[in-house]
């Protein structure tokens, strides 16, 4: 699993003025939110969001994209709300997280419709980079 400071160092290497504290907060929040979840393999679920954020950093994406990578499953898989994400991480990150492919998965047809409409707000960078998640 990609450790917090490894991720921060990776982002800092290409973006010296990045908001590293925001990345740290997103990492810790996602790790906490997924704390009781495990994958079928038995490893912590948080391995996945940390890996997605690592890919964003490898692609040298901005701070918002790295944070959204960390948070992309929080709305779908935890009790966290959109309002909480927006309050803690800002509107830009919340919008990306709300429109990410994994949050578009839902059992309710009404929820799927809402998510499809939200997908129109995706940044081209997010759609292109994280469509596989």
- Give me the catalytic one of 77, 86, 88, 92: 77
Is 73 an active-site residue? no
**Which phi and psi angles does 28 have, rounded to 5°?**
-65, -40
Is 58 an active-site residue? no
Residues paired with 38 in a beta bridge: 44
Rounded distance, CA 124 to CA 43, Å? Answer: 32
- Give me the catalytic one of 19, 31, 76, 86: 76
Q: Which residues are catalytic?
A: 76-77
């Amino acid at each position: 699993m990609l450790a917090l400071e490894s991720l921060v160092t990776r982002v800092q290497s290409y973006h010296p003025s990045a908001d590293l504290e925001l990345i740290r907060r997103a990492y810790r929040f996602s790790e906490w939110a997924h704390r009781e979840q495990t994958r079928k393999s038995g490893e912590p679920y948080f391995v996945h969001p940390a890996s997605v954020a690592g890919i964003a950093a490898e692609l040298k994406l901005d701070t918002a994209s790295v944070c959204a990578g960390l948070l992309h499953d929080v709305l779908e898989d935890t009790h966290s709300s959109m309002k909480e994400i927006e309050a803690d991480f800002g509107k830009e990150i919340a919008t990306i997280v709300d429109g990410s492919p994994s949050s578009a998965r839902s059992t309710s047809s009404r929820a799927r419709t809402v998510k499809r409409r939200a997908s129109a707000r995706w940044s081209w960078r997010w759609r292109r980079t994280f469509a596989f998640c």
